[in-house]
Amino acid sequence: MKWIGKPIVRKDALGKVTGETKYMTDLYFPDMLYGVIVRAGVPQELAGMALRRNIEIRSHGYFDMPSADKGIEGAYGLPHILYGSMTCVALVEVDTITGQVNVLKVVSAPDAGRIINRQGLEGQVEGGVVMGLGYALMEKVIFNTGRIINDNLDTYLMPTALDCPEIVVTPVEVIEKSGPFGAKGIGECTTGPIAPAILNAIYDAVGVRIRDLPVSMEKIFFALQNGTGIYRKGMRSHTANSE
């Protein structure tokens, strides 16, 4: 390890010490009276020194997100330069007597660029699956004369641990050159494909298309009974047409 900066008062360390580190910029020890910029041959040396002195290592950095050169006509601002994506497959069982749907298994294949934190990525995908499940089968805000009438969790239904299916996460790691460390991120795209996957699985299982979310037992029942195999908003009996 080689010291390449002079010790100065900690509060001035970031502003007055010049130098660089091999692995991170603006490195200093916040629990020491003096701070210096150091260069370590390998990260283990620096970590070992901090461990022996019982101090915390911190770093400061930034990533300047690139932007598109051209906007989209009629849109606000420039389009995002990086987009995450995900493919999802759902396995369901449907009771043809009652219309009850159980989601048994979901397989998600996210493309988030380089995986930096595998556990974090899997947790994000699992959370997105459960959110999408609620959107597909349970969650609905009901209004009456402008007021929400299901404003409590005993009437606004959300998935619980008992509703969660087996979730398999199979990342597709395609390095994004313009992203930090090759990553693209994995956020809202984890929720988007869940409802379509569940609805397609219902269609594959019993041959009915539901055009109105959330998919309730009644909607599947009426879609099975009306002879068209389609349920749209407003259907209430087996005599309702599909127009």
Q: Is residue 225 part of a domain?
A: no
**Domain count of the chain?**
2
Residues 91 and 169 in one domain: yes
pLDDT of amino acid 233 = 64
Q: Is residue 59 in a domain?
A: no
Residues 165-181: tens digit of each pLDDT? 999 999 998 888 877 78
Q: Could you report the per-residue pLDDT of 181-190, keeping only the tens digit for each? A: 888 888 888 9
For residue 171, CA distances in Å to 80, 132, 193, 227, 239 come to: 22, 18, 15, 41, 46
Identify whether 105 is part of a domain.
yes
Q: CB count, 10 Å around CB of 100?
A: 13
Neighbours of 135 (CB within 10 A): 18
7 in a domain, yes or no?
yes
Q: Which residues neighbour 43 within 8 Å (Cβ) at sequence distance 6 or greater?
A: 23
Q: What is the pLDDT of residue 58?
A: 67
Whether residues 179 and 113 fall in one domain: yes
Same domain, 45 and 89: no
Q: Is the same domain home to 202 and 89?
A: yes
202 with 117, same domain: the answer is yes
- Write the pLDDT tens digit of every residue in 121-180: 999 999 999 999 999 999 999 999 999 999 998 999 999 999 999 999 999 988 888 777
Q: Are residues 91 and 146 in the same domain?
A: yes
Does 201 lie in the same domain as 91?
yes
| Cis peptide, bond prior to residue 214, ω within 30 of zero | yes
Give residue-wise pLDDT tens across range 189-200.
Answer: 899 999 999 999
Res. 50 pLDDT band, cuts 50 70 90:
confident
- Residue 181 sits in a domain whose CATH number is 3.30.365.10
Question: CB-based burial of residue 124 (10 Å sphere; 0-12 exposed, 13-18 middle, 19+ buried)?
Answer: buried
pLDDT for residue 65: 63
With bands split at pLDDT 50, 70 and 90, how would you rate the model's confidence at 41?
A: low
Assigned token pair, 192: 């988007």
Which residues are tagged catalytic?
188
Position 242 in a domain? no
What is the pLDDT, as a whole number, of residue 141? 93
In a domain, 211, yes or no: no
On whether both 201 and 90 belong to a single domain, the answer is: yes
Specify if 18 maps to a domain: yes
Clarify whether residues 136 and 184 are in a common domain: yes
- 90 and 201 together in one domain: yes
In the prediction, which pLDDT does 68 show? 65
- Considering the domain boundaries, does residue 224 fall inside one? no
Residues 47 and 100 in one domain: no
Q: Which domain, by its residues, includes 30?
A: 2-53
Same domain, 161 and 105: yes
